Structure 1
Amino acid sequence: MAGIVKITYSGQVVKYIKDMVLKGELAPGDQVKEAEISKKLDISRAPVREAMQILINEGLVSSKPQKRKYITALTSKEIIDSYFTGGVLEAAAVAKSLDAYLAKDIVRLEKIVEKMHDLADSDSRSEQLATLDNHFHDVLFSRVDNQLLIELCRRSCQEISKFLLFRYWRNLFSVAEVYSRHKAIVDAIKNGDLVELEKVIRKHYNDSGLRMSRYGIDKIDLTNKGINQD
């Protein structure tokens, strides 16, 4: 049996389930069996139930009356909607903070983008690109003086769609595409172009949502449908 430290047991159960999702051992729509997890980790059912509630609150696990708990399965439209919403919110947040970005922030963003470009020949580039993408958006949020807006941005897609479908997300774009998509945002910030900045960030998210939509539970590819970027 794989025992765990019981001081923070519910949190470790949460991590265990999330790791299973990231590894593809639990896919959207799969049932999450509390008894099986309890036996696997050699703990009582109480911390597992507590972990389930945490994941339900985060949106990563769903539960319906008279039905068992399962990994949240998003439709193609729900994926697109989550990314569209994330793009609108992040674009507004970053644009509102445009005057707050310092020269050192732009340098940090440029270094991240250059590292993305340099990963073309790396065998582990998908994992590294995912890390760099997170760092990039962290820098963008670092000058946003509205914690609620930041949380809404992250929850709208990064903590649900991106996490649940991470194994697809990390290979959505080529290295060249990843580089150009992020460089466009940096260029808009450097130029102080408020309108262009909002446009490129919304397009950044909309393009991701459209490509991710093919992995919805209903497997409808909406790539060619397009979304109004204005």
Structure 2
Amino acid sequence: MLNRKELASYIKTSLARGKSKEEIYKNLLNEGCSVDAIQEGFDVVTSEREREDTSKRTIRIIVTFGAVLVGVGIFSFIAANWQAMAKSVKIFIIIAAMLASYAAGWQLKEKMNFSKTGGALILLGTIIYGGGIFLVAQMFHIRAHWPDGFILWMIGAVAVAYALESYPVFYLAILVGSVAIFGHPFALLREFGFHSFLLTSSLLLFVATITTFLIGWAMRKKVPPELREFY
């Protein structure tokens, strides 16, 4: 007869091995455990998982916010010394900072199993990439609609999110893409004048982007907790 702690440990281990709830119930009943005791064990495991999920979510938010602050700090430093820097130095700083963030993030996430810290650095690299697009455009006086920069940022972010399986970068791509889609018609209207088609088509694209994100989020919520790390 298993005590409460042993019962919860057995259930947790069995679930991790892919056993169904019915199989676990059957095995424990054969060992003489009561239905109430088994259900209590499942309740303990569920409670532990909820606490772990909350802790992981909090850590993810903290490291993501930290990455954003570091990115802001980098661009603040560059902006403060922008006029005094040569163009080659500016480009080198942008590329070096981006590659260093990606390399360190990949190393921490894939090789050292620090997934949250690594993911935050990958997100930082994507933020630097996006900021670099606008800084380079300003540096060389490239004439283009400002939403085009967000479109390029979104494309790069989606590629990184897919290659490195980073959900924070994917969410950033959704946000950046939404800004581009929503802002593009206003940039066109300012140059070519009002045309309802421009506003309507961009609005539909914006709605489609948000709808796609919500559907993906809803589908992921249906994935069992033990399998979410693979999706």
**Where is the helix percentage greater, Structure 1 or Structure 2?**
2
Q: Which has the larger radius of gyration?
A: 2
Coarse TM-score class (shorter-chain normalised): under 0.3
Q: TM-score, normalised by structure 1?
A: 0.23
- Indicate the structure whose relative CO is greater, using CA pairs within 8 Å and at least 6 residues apart: 1
